Structure 1
Amino acid sequence: MKSTYYGKIEEYYDGDAAGFEERYWQNPVLQRMRQDFREEVKRFSFSSMLEIGYGTGLDMVHFAATHPSVQVAGIDISGEMHRLASARIENMQLENAVAAKGKIEELEDIFPGRQFDMIYVFFGALNTVEDLEGAARILHRAATPGGVLVLSFVNRHYLAGMLIELLKLRFRAAFSRLRTSWGGYSPSRSLPSRCYSTGQIRKAFSNFIPVRRKGYSIVSPAWYYHRLNRLLRRFGRILWKTDMALQKTPLWKFGEYTLFVFRKPDNGSK
């Protein structure tokens, strides 16, 4: 049993690794979100990219294959995720991809002197860092002048989720994201983590220029509401389009996930 903060996170994801992809491929909501995250990255041109929290390496190998001239690097805290991702890279013979093991605070030691013009985080890896503002400073140093960050976060203010849990009379679950420590999605295992509001994220990344922002699962059920998603399966595409239409309203900030695109100023400071 690991006792340190990051030790507990590593232990959690080591245990999560074996069934990670099976759960993903059975979940159309997660698949649709991942594809949209990837399209946000592909809006930009880049020659080097870094993923924080690559998991089993699905996105690293995707970008390494679709952008063969781009150098793709990644870090993940989990030794088991690192093993799976490294095996995937090796099996696909991708010479332009390197998966490393480590936490974000070790980034500059793992890739000394390197900067990246695209840094991305899919599915909320930054929700598990000890210090979000400190992580933002590290990513500011890691980004090239003019470099882009595409970052997704588990949202603190998931309004529909609160209402669903209140209707179930699950008051603790309804307000779990508002606590200092969230605990993650699992009902049986705790993940040291914290949910962030849109204001907290903008403050942490204030040294970057905001470019875009989006919310996910605003009216469409979050990925973990399996029964509700099955009941509404025939309306899934309509609900997704409704979410996208709501991006132009204040409701965008009340989805289950948020995504932010930031750009580092060309002169290295704001």
Structure 2
Amino acid sequence: MRVAEFDGTRLHFRVDGDLTGAPVLFINSLGTDLRLWDPILPFLPAGLRIIRYDKRGHGLSDAPPAPYSMGTLVRDAEQLLDMLDVRDAMVVGLSIGGMIAQGLAVKRLDLVRALVLSNTGAKIATREIWDTRIDTARRDGVAALAQGTMERWFSREFLDRPELALWQNMFEQTSLDGFTGCSAAIRGTDFYTPTSGLRLPTLGIGGSEDGGTPPDLVRETVDLIPGSRFELIRRAGHLPCVERPETYAAMLTDFFTETGHV
């Protein structure tokens, strides 16, 4: 385990693979930590420098008082790559991670060679939806949102599998400040205009049964970037890297190859 401290907040991160290889930064979703990417790691090609971290308020990172701004979350990713002396990274972001990836590319294109925007949007849900979730978490705890979240996140097939308990536990263990802080960041973000100004290779990935960021939202977002393409993973929900890891990793590998990143 490694820890970096930025602006008084300690972030847990790890680097795997070839330490001299092409860098790939993975940014996870709300209510998960860097273990979100564990299922796909065995299926990724050799020669990659794989960088993962726990967003503030998640996993083993600090949970400063909520709310957080999207600018702060982008700054965390920016400072981590600067600390590691990384340039021209492939950035793979899922859900809020995809929003952070968009913001990072807009702010620091020198850090980002290409984007994978997975199960995300330039804007996700409405202010009223996020207000309700934040209020519920503050009143009843993050666990009160777990059942509804699992139903939005996963396909009907996966909801009957024993592994569901692992992801529900991870969600329920998210700190209150982490959940409400990042929810507030999503609530306040609309990247339609800045993302439409991006010009870099971009792959969008959606899950056919995603109740959080439906495929049409992902497609609409990546269509803002000229030359992008969209791929749909069938029989998968909001976390296709969990439900269909081989398929997900194959899509990443093809994109890495197309962009000369492996």
Same fold (TM over 0.5): no
Larger radius of gyration: 1
Point out which structure has higher relative CO (alpha carbons under 8 A, 6+ apart): 2
For the aligned pair, the TM-score class normalised by the smaller chain equals 0.3 to 0.5
Question: Normalising by the residue count of structure 2, what TM-score does the alignment of the two structures yield?
Answer: 0.40
Question: Normalising by the residue count of structure 1, what TM-score does the alignment of the two structures yield?
Answer: 0.39
